[in-house]
């Protein structure tokens, strides 16, 4: 509140001319510091950050970008926004992108992989980075759903060539809308910086890395948004600690429920997110029916590629700008090609909102549920 009042009383609601006291600048400095990364750029959404990252990497028409078949549609849409083709990839039992399947889906047109840390569940970044280096493709981490987490001691979002956060209503920290791009690569940053502000060559830092000036978009973040984000960033450690404690609570209740076990996790020691794996789809449905605010991942609707109508239909605002025009081949979005994903989603449950319940209430609920199970 105080931060918002500051912005309004200074009458400086746009980030420029805010100087070093501007919240956008301070928020970016906070992200750089926290994630131990050279460059951070605050933007108006996670989708914008993904698009800016792909532009930063010079990805465009004719290129292929590998994205998981289980993510928010924005991950795939970002590829089409730069004229590239999203190539879908299975997820494994961890509900994150399957490294073996990435290998199979790389072609000579593949330019990037976008691993998505879904539901605070981190991807197998060691294997993904190894594949990417070997096959000479870039990695853009979509950490929209894992802001503030780490993988084997490194901040997620700072491991790939670029990484993005979202701060919309449903994320670990939020300003209603907002996003950020992280990178250690000056060229990616310079191009993203240019792209996020209509290609304005007059702005500070716009001539970094001697980039050519190009026409683009407005993805700027306002000082009002940045003030909220700056304040939330100070709370992020506490939020993550809280999520971890809740995970432990649910895990200990699960011990009493036959067949329910934590899904494989790519960094168990630092785990924050929890997916619960049942022996099969029916057992998962029964579990979800008995547990409060719990559903099978397959019932989460919009995060599954089968609901991504514009991607499946391969439509564009103007047919002349359709990425299909430049693609060397058509890609397979048929559900039959993604049976492993569908099977994992069907037998794995997620708890939608336990993290919004006060912790003692959560503990009571899960204790009771576990007791009723064994009774």
Q: Is 46 in the site for ligand PLP (CB under 6 A)?
A: yes
Stretch 100-119: interaction string toward ligand PLP, x if CB under 6 A = ----------------x---
Q: Is 71 in the site for ligand PLP (CB under 6 A)?
A: yes
For residue 104, give every residue at least 6 positions away whose Cβ sits within 8 Å of its Cβ, in sequence order, or none: none
Q: Is 142 in the site for ligand PLP (CB under 6 A)?
A: yes
- Phi-psi bin for 266: left (phi > 0), alpha (psi -120 to 50), beta? alpha
CA angle 352-293-372, nearest 5°? 140
Given candidates 3, 15, 27, 47, which one binds ligand PLP under the rule CB under 6 A?
Answer: 47
Q: Is 120 in the site for ligand PLP (CB under 6 A)?
A: no
Secondary structure (3-state) at 95: coil
The Cα–Cα gap between 77 and 64 comes to 12
Nearest approach, Cβ of 45 to ligand PLP (angstroms)?
4
Give the nearest residue (CB) to ligand PLP. Answer: 46
Nearest approach, Cβ of 286 to ligand PLP (angstroms)?
28
Given candidates 94, 96, 110, 145, which one binds ligand PLP under the rule CB under 6 A?
Answer: 145
Q: Is 273 in the site for ligand PLP (CB under 6 A)?
A: no
Listed in sequence order, the DSSP H helices in the chain are: 2-10, 23-35, 46-56, 74-81, 99-105, 125-135, 186-195, 223-233, 236-254, 281-290, 309-312, 339-347, 359-374
Closest C-alpha to 149, from 300, 10, 269, 257: 269
Given candidates 23, 31, 52, 75, which one binds ligand PLP under the rule CB under 6 A?
Answer: 75
Nearest approach, Cβ of 289 to ligand PLP (angstroms)?
26
The Cα–Cα gap between 340 and 91 comes to 7
**Closer residue to ligand PLP (CB): 41 or 369:** 41
Interface residue list for ligand PLP (CB under 6 A): 45-47, 71-72, 74-75, 116, 142, 144-145, 166, 168, 179
């Amino acid at each position: 509140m105080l931060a918002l009042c500051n912005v309004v009383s200074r009458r400086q609601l746009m980030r420029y001319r805010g100087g070093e006291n501007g919240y956008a600048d301070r928020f970016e400095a906070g992200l750089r510091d926290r994630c131990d990364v050279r460059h951070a750029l605050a933007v108006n959404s996670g989708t914008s950050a993904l698009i800016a990252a792909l532009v930063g990497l010079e990805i465009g028409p004719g290129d292929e970008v590998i994205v998981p078949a289980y993510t928010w549609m924005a991950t795939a849409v970002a590829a089409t926004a730069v004229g590239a083709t999203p190539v879908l990839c299975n997820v494994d039992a961890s509900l994150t992108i399957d490294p073996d399947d990435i290998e199979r889906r790389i072609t000579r047109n593949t330019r990037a992989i976008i691993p998505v840390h879904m539901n605070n569940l981190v991807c197998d970044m060691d294997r993904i980075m190894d594949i990417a280096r070997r096959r000479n493709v870039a990695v853009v981490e979509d950490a929209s759903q894992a802001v503030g987490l780490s993988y084997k001691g490194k901040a997620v979002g700072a491991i790939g060539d670029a990484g993005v956060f979202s701060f919309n209503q449903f994320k670990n920290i939020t300003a209603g809308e907002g996003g950020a791009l992280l990178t250690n690569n000056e060229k990616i940053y310079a191009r993203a910086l240019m792209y996020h502000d209509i290609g304005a060559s007059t702005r500070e830092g716009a001539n970094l890395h001697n980039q050519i000036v190009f026409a683009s978009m407005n993805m700027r973040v306002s000082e009002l948004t940045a003030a909220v984000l700056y304040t939330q960033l100070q709370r992020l450690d506490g939020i993550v600690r809280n999520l971890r404690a809740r995970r432990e609570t649910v895990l200990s209740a699960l011990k009493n429920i036959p067949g329910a076990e934590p899904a494989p996790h790519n960094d168990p020691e630092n785990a924050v997110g929890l997916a619960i794996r049942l022996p099969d789809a029916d057992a998962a449905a029964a579990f979800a029916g008995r547990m409060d605010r719990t559903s099978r991942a397959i019932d989460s609707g919009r995060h599954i590629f089968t609901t991504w109508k514009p991607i499946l239909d391969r439509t564009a605002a103007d047919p002349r700008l359709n990425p299909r025009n430049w693609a060397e081949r058509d890609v397979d979005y048929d559900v039959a090609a993604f049976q492993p994903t569908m099977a994992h989603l069907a037998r794995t449950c997620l708890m939608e909102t336990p993290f919004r319940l006060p912790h003692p209430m959560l503990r009571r609920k899960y204790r009771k549920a576990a007791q009723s199970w064994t009774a």
